Amino acid sequence: MTKIPGKTAHKIYEQKWFVESVSVVPPVIAAGYAAFAANANPNTAASVPWLLLGIIWLIVASLVKILQAFQQDKEVAVRNAHEGLVAASHVLHASVLRKANLSSKSGELRVTVHRVVPPIDSPKSYEQLIPYVGGSGGPSFRSFPIHTGITGRVAREGNPLIYTRINDDYDAYLKELVAHWGYTDAEARKLLQDRKSWMAVPIFSVEHVVLAVVYLDSSTKDVFTTEIKQLVIDSCGGFAAHITERYKS
């Protein structure tokens, strides 16, 4: 079963170095107390050097384990940074820019990837996995209700979707977001005002359940023509292959 990790993997109590650090404290305290008690008793004072040697050995061994655990945590952090998805998004971004004859200025075209937050068979939210490629936006690991936006609809229905903004007037655009895309007025006002075109494509598990959604938007209208749509869908085959291989359990 493919499972795409999200922000929850970053909690400190789930970090191996933290668990190793906490676990070593009681034995060291107990050994130190035993050495102190032995030193105070003439009959056992001769054993103190051996106890101290044991304490030193325990501390050194624990430090080695903590360093190993820290390295393992770094590897997990690299995994959760989703470098492969970032690289794939850069390739898709460059391909669409060229095919659609768009400029490379920031915000002209943005690409990101969202995961469907488990349980994926009855999801309640989706989560942005990587920063936007091609422009500014919110950071990774932002969570959104599954009933909102083009990404939420694609996650629910499992079909690629393209949409072009109807209203240039901002107030009318806000009403459009509320009426068609499930946002509250407050949520709609947090979105970028200059977006004109959107596209989202589902990424399926081998069980044909939506695991993730590749999302694109642009400040230019009617970007996602039939030709561009096919380019994006074909490219998402690469995303699907990467996700299946990288995150298989």
Q: What is the pLDDT along the chain (249 residues), one digit of tens a residue?
A: 788 888 654 566 667 767 777 777 777 777 776 777 777 777 776 777 877 887 788 788 878 887 887 777 665 665 566 989 999 999 999 999 999 999 988 899 999 999 999 998 899 999 999 999 999 988 888 999 999 999 999 999 999 999 999 989 999 999 999 999 999 999 999 999 999 999 999 999 998 999 999 999 999 999 999 999 999 999 999 999 999 999 887
In this structure, the answer to whether residues 87 and 76 fall within a common structural domain is no
Tokens coding 132: 């936007």
In this structure, the answer to whether residues 96 and 61 fall within a common structural domain is no
In this structure, the answer to whether residues 63 and 94 fall within a common structural domain is no
Residue 1 lies in a domain: no
pLDDT at 173: 94
- Among the listed residues 18, 143, 33, 26, the one whose alpha carbon sits nearest the alpha carbon of residue 69: 18
- For the beta carbon of residue 43, count every other beta carbon within 10 angstroms: 7
Q: Which of 80, 105, 120 is the last residue of a domain?
A: 80
Sequence letter at residue 72: Q
pLDDT at 242: 95
pLDDT at 75: 59
Domain that holds residue 58: 7-80
In this structure, the answer to whether residues 180 and 224 fall within a common structural domain is yes
Domain count, the chain: 2
Residue 180 CB-half CA count within 13 A: 13
Residues in the chain: 249
Question: Does residue 133 contact residue 235 with C-beta atoms inside 8 Å?
Answer: no
Specify which residues 214 forms β-bridges with.
113, 201
In CATH, what number is assigned to the domain containing residue 88?
3.30.450.40
In this structure, the answer to whether residues 109 and 159 fall within a common structural domain is yes
Q: Which of 52, 80, 108 is the last residue of a domain?
A: 80
Q: How far apart are CA 51 and CA 73, in angstroms?
A: 32
In this structure, the answer to whether residues 194 and 73 fall within a common structural domain is no
Question: Does residue 117 contact residue 126 with C-beta atoms inside 8 Å?
Answer: yes
Residue 2 lies in a domain: no
Residue 108 lies in a domain: yes
- For the beta carbon of residue 233, count every other beta carbon within 10 angstroms: 13
In this structure, the answer to whether residues 45 and 104 fall within a common structural domain is no
Q: Which of 80, 110, 134 is the last residue of a domain?
A: 80
- Among the listed residues 36, 75, 89, the one whose alpha carbon sits nearest the alpha carbon of residue 216: 89
In this structure, the answer to whether residues 157 and 75 fall within a common structural domain is no
- 160: three-class secondary structure by DSSP: coil
Tokens coding 43: 């009959």
